[in-house]
Amino acid sequence: MTESAGTPFLQISGLRKAYGNLEALRGVDLELRRGEFLCLFGPNGAGKSTLLKIIATLLRPDSGRIRVLDNDLQENPEAYRARLGMVSHQPFVYQDLSLLENLEFYAALYGVKQPRKRALKLLQQVKLIQRCDMPAGDLSRGMQQRLSIARALVNDPELLLLDEPYTGLDEHAARIFGEQLRLLHDNRRTIIMVTHNLRRGMESATRLGILARGRLAYLQEKDQVDPASFEALYFQHLEAS
Ligand SMILES: Nc1ncnc2c1ncn2[C@@H]1O[C@H](COP(=O)(O)OP(=O)(O)OP(=O)(O)O)[C@@H](O)[C@H]1O
């Protein structure tokens, strides 16, 4: 994939998705440059997970386009998926396999050169190395979340999609994850995170967005945003929903 200066990394235009009569996305347009970190807020049912699932190719839109650099993702989904990582409500881990087996499996699937080494490094990072031989199904919910974060990073993704990654994490684990996000966020990685955690979201992001009733109601560079005004606007949207 070619990349010239100024080419947006991700271009989304006119994205619409309905579930029966319910219009979950009503025309979303969004452009992100490589290395941007968008934190997307919004009321329950606003369409945030639907948007992330479509970007992750887990769900097909009814209409609209998504391009990553010069490629339409519908035209070459396999190459696109290899560059993608996602943490969602589903852990996508095998409950009967150990933590190490799970991560080794995914690393091998993505063609990582030394799958075991990569798996062990990630288990260290998410502080699960002591439990590496335990079946994933025996982990607590917060630990499952840490494992799915490790799973999402196995292929060192260029585009990382995080749907409420703080859910289930205790304060210590959330702080560690916040630190990891800072390390993960470099010039080559583009991140979109959906969260209801205003403080955590605002500390990590370079852009802030609010999705409301299936539309992007607000999008701004974080350094142009007054935190108190943003918080007030966010609460207005929550109350209006
Ligand atoms: N599989 C589905 N079938 C029918 N309706 C769905 C389905 N998935 C989502 N919806 C509906 O689409 C709308 C958007 O849902 P979505 O999960 O994208 O919202 P969200 O912004 O992620 O919400 P939350 O903050 O509660 O996670 C909601 O009204 C929801 O009930």
What value, to the nearest 5°, has the Cα angle with vertex 31 and ends 30 and 36? 120
What pTM value is reported for the model? 0.92
Q: Is the pLDDT score of 1 beyond 60?
A: no
- Looking at CATH, the fold of the domain delimited by 1-81+186-240 is given as Rossmann fold (3.40.50)
**What pLDDT score was predicted for residue 235?**
94
Backbone angles phi, psi at 92, to 5 degrees: 50, 40
Q: Whose CA is nearest to atom 27 of ligand 1?
A: 44
**What pLDDT score was predicted for residue 230?**
95
Give distance in angstroms: CA of 136 to centre of ligand 1.
Answer: 27
CB distance 162 to ligand 1 below 6 Å: no
Q: pLDDT tens across 91-125, in order?
A: 788 999 999 999 999 999 999 999 999 999 999 98
The Cα–Cα gap between 77 and 210 comes to: 27
Q: Which strand (E) or helix (H) includes residue 12?
A: strand 10-19
CB distance 237 to ligand 1 below 6 Å: no
Q: Whose CA is nearest to atom 29 of ligand 1?
A: 45
Q: Is the pLDDT score of 218 beyond 90?
A: yes
Residue 167, C-beta contacts closer than 8 angstroms, at least 6 positions apart: 89, 145
Residue 129, C-beta contacts closer than 8 angstroms, at least 6 positions apart: 120, 123
| Structure tokens given for 44 | 């329950």
- Residue positions counted in the chain: 241
CB distance 42 to ligand 1 below 6 Å: yes
The Cα–Cα gap between 189 and 37 comes to: 8
Pairing of strands 10-19, 37-41: unpaired
CB distance 212 to ligand 1 below 6 Å: no
**What pLDDT score was predicted for residue 3?**
59
The answer to whether 194 touches 49, Cβ cutoff 8 Å, is yes
Q: pLDDT tens across 136-180, in order?
A: 999 988 888 889 889 999 999 999 999 998 888 888 888 888 888
The Cα–Cα gap between 24 and 119 comes to: 37
pLDDT band for position 4 (cuts 50, 70, 90): low
Give distance in angstroms: CA of 23 to centre of ligand 1.
Answer: 10
Q: pLDDT tens across 13-67, in order?
A: 999 999 999 999 999 999 999 999 999 999 999 999 999 999 998 899 999 999 8
- The whole-number average pLDDT for the span 69-82 is 76
Q: Please name the amino acid found at residue 175.
A: R
The answer to whether 60 touches 16, Cβ cutoff 8 Å, is no
**What pLDDT score was predicted for residue 119?**
96
**What pLDDT score was predicted for residue 42?**
96
The Cα–Cα gap between 90 and 75 comes to: 26
Q: Whose CA is nearest to atom 9 of ligand 1?
A: 50
Q: Whose CA is nearest to atom 7 of ligand 1?
A: 19
Kindly indicate whether the ipTM for this predicted assembly is greater than 0.90, answering yes or no.
yes
**What pLDDT score was predicted for residue 80?**
82
What value, to the nearest 5°, has the Cα angle with vertex 72 and ends 68 and 78? 85
Domain limits of the chain?
1-81+186-240, 84-156
